[in-house]
Amino acid sequence: MLRGEVEISGAKNAAVAIIPAALMVDGVCRIENMPQISDTDMLLTILSELGAKVNYINHSTIEIDCSKVRYQDAPYDLMRKIRASYYLIGAMLGRFGSAKTTMPGGCNFGVRPIDQHIKGMTALGANVEVKNGFVYADVAGGRLHGTRIYLDKVSVGATMNILIAAVMAQGRTIIENAAREPHIVDLANFLNSMGADVRGAGTDTIKINGVEKLHGGTYAIIPDQIEAGTYMVAAAATGGEVLVKNVIPRHLECISAKLRETGTIVQEYEDSILVKGASTLRKVNIKTLPYPGFPTDMQPQMGALLCLAEGTSVITEGIYDNRFKYVSELRKMGAEAHVDGRVAVIEGGAKLSGAPVQACDLRAGAAMVIAGLCANGVTEIEDIHYIERGYENFVDKLRSLGADIRLVSFEDSCSGAEILSIS
Ligand code: EPZ
């Protein structure tokens, strides 16, 4: 049962776009509320290899100076590891008029193409080619030109990548059928604080007037909507009482509403949310949708919680082909659930028991931690590098809420890998 207060860090999916966007700035970007996670570490290393000066002011404030960066080969081995490396296409094209990146890595839940990114860059005047696992792009004359782009699919990454590329293009760009997530608004606000001219972020139509250059400045990243939601669900699942601090309640409305449907008490304050677990959890049905719909990045966490609810819940994954790998891991712990394509049916009322399980991806890993916190006996979770990609100080924050969770060192664990042990 989790009890106490937890402080939410900066938003991962904003930070992983803002760091590449800093490449466009001819000056020093002071970025506050930067989450210390492996994805941001990797992107900062990539920027440093491109000649950026990265200065760590304190644990959540960094200064990035890209005034001396020059176009050159980047560390492709690092690029391959993360999905967000695709933002370097837009940033390098916008800054240098040329880009070479790897096809993006990232969590594997089905096909994750980048055709809409390529459509956008091509519309802005770039010649884009994908060959041997690399993306090559360049624009004649070195500067992109504004255009109107209609996205065939609502895509967070394509919206942000095109936004980054367009801020220094010649003329006006309009992105239609744009994604509306809070981190898109955060990226636009970051770019505007550096001298860009972006309007309409957060709606499905974003207008960008290209500027000649971007100057340095200071910006604070918004709190992480998904990290906050994860702790809210963990509090509900364990029947605890947790004050989740440093949040923007408006960004969490869908998650709060779903939790209230389960019978959980959710009280919103100006920049915090109090979650009180119910004695019994009611079943709910969920369909994941682009923002402001229920976020796909909260789907696995809710899957773990609904194993404990009374009655049968149905989860429909509206964004990805295959984001239910975690269900087979939950079944190892005694959950009654089965998957049919993009639908998972979860019989509730399970008494979960601890077991050795795997984190199949970032949010699936968080789901296994939630299940472990509710299970009888010890749960050991492998492949926790996924979790470390998106949750700052996950173990410390959970331990401060009373969780009996610890990182088991290499020699102690049976499989020889670093694992999380939850009792
Ligand atoms: C971002 O991924 C996030 N990652 C994901 O979060 C999140 O799940 C996703 O947005 C949706 O909110 C980052 O921001 C680094 P999309 P992204 O483009 O940009 C299809 C997490 O756990 N699509 O919005 O890859 C795509 O296959 C991670 O933090 C195309 O068809 O997501 C998917 O079905 C996991 N063509 C749908 O659109 C494209 O060119 C939405 O993808 C691009 C996407």
The CATH superfamily of 225-422 is Enolpyruvate transferase domain (3.65.10.10)
Average pLDDT estimate for 243-253: 98
**Banded pLDDT at 414 (limits 50, 70, 90):** low
Question: What is the bridge-based pairing of β-strands 172-176 and 148-150?
Answer: parallel
pLDDT at 403: 97
- Tell whether the model's pLDDT for residue 230 goes beyond 80: yes
Judged on CB neighbours under 10 Å (0-12, 13-18, 19+), 111 is exposed
How much of the chain, in percent, has pLDDT values that exceed 90? Answer: 91
Cα(231) to centroid of ligand 1, in Å? 22
pLDDT at 415: 55
- Options 3.40.50.2300, 3.65.10.10, 1.10.3470.10, 3.40.50.1820; CATH of 11-220: 3.65.10.10
pLDDT at 352: 97
Give dist(CA 259, CA 308) in Å, integer. Answer: 13
Q: Supply the residue whose CA is at minimum distance from atom 42 of ligand 1.
A: 155
Average pLDDT estimate for 19-29: 97
Give dist(CA 365, CA 398) in Å, integer. Answer: 14
Best mutation site among 112, 221, 224, 391 for ligand 1, i.e. most ligand atoms within 8 A of its Cβ?
Answer: 112
| Closest ligand 1 atom, residue 320 Cα | 34
229 lines ligand 1 (CB under 6 A): no
Q: pLDDT tens across 357-374, in order?
A: 999 999 999 999 999 999
296 lines ligand 1 (CB under 6 A): yes
pLDDT at 74: 86
pLDDT at 385: 86
Q: pLDDT tens across 251-270, in order?
A: 999 999 999 999 999 999 99
- Tell whether the model's pLDDT for residue 347 goes beyond 80: yes
Contacts of 199-205 with CB under 8 Å at 24 or more apart are 201/163, 203/178, 204/154, 204/176, 204/177, 204/178, 204/180, 205/174, 205/175, 205/176, 205/178
Looking at every residue in the chain, the average pLDDT score rounds to 95
Cα(380) to centroid of ligand 1, in Å? 29
Common-topology check for domains 11-220 and 225-422? yes
pLDDT at 104: 87
The number of C-alpha atoms within 13 Å of 119 and in the hemisphere containing its C-beta is: 16
Sign of CA dihedral 275, 299, 221, 77: positive
Cα(273) to centroid of ligand 1, in Å? 27
Every domain of the chain and the residues it spans: 11-220, 225-422
Cβ distance 247 to 222 under 8 Å?
A: no
DSSP type of residue 170 = B
Cα(404) to centroid of ligand 1, in Å? 33
84 lines ligand 1 (CB under 6 A): yes
Q: pLDDT tens across 146-180, in order?
A: 999 999 999 999 999 999 999 999 999 999 999 99
Q: Supply the residue whose CA is at minimum distance from atom 16 of ligand 1.
A: 155
Sign of CA dihedral 116, 122, 125, 128: positive
**Banded pLDDT at 112 (limits 50, 70, 90):** confident
pLDDT at 416: 54
| Closest ligand 1 atom, residue 226 Cα | 29
Q: pLDDT tens across 197-212, in order?
A: 999 999 999 999 999 9
- Tell whether the model's pLDDT for residue 142 goes beyond 80: yes
**What residues are annotated to the active site?**
107
Cα(83) to centroid of ligand 1, in Å? 9
Distance of CA 106 to the CA centre of its chain: 11
pLDDT at 410: 57
pLDDT at 281: 97
Cβ distance 211 to 195 under 8 Å?
A: yes
Residue 134, beta-bridge partner list: 102, 131
**Cis omega (within 30 of 0) on the bond before 292?**
yes
pLDDT at 36: 97
- Tell whether the model's pLDDT for residue 189 goes beyond 90: yes
Q: Supply the residue whose CA is at minimum distance from atom 43 of ligand 1.
A: 114
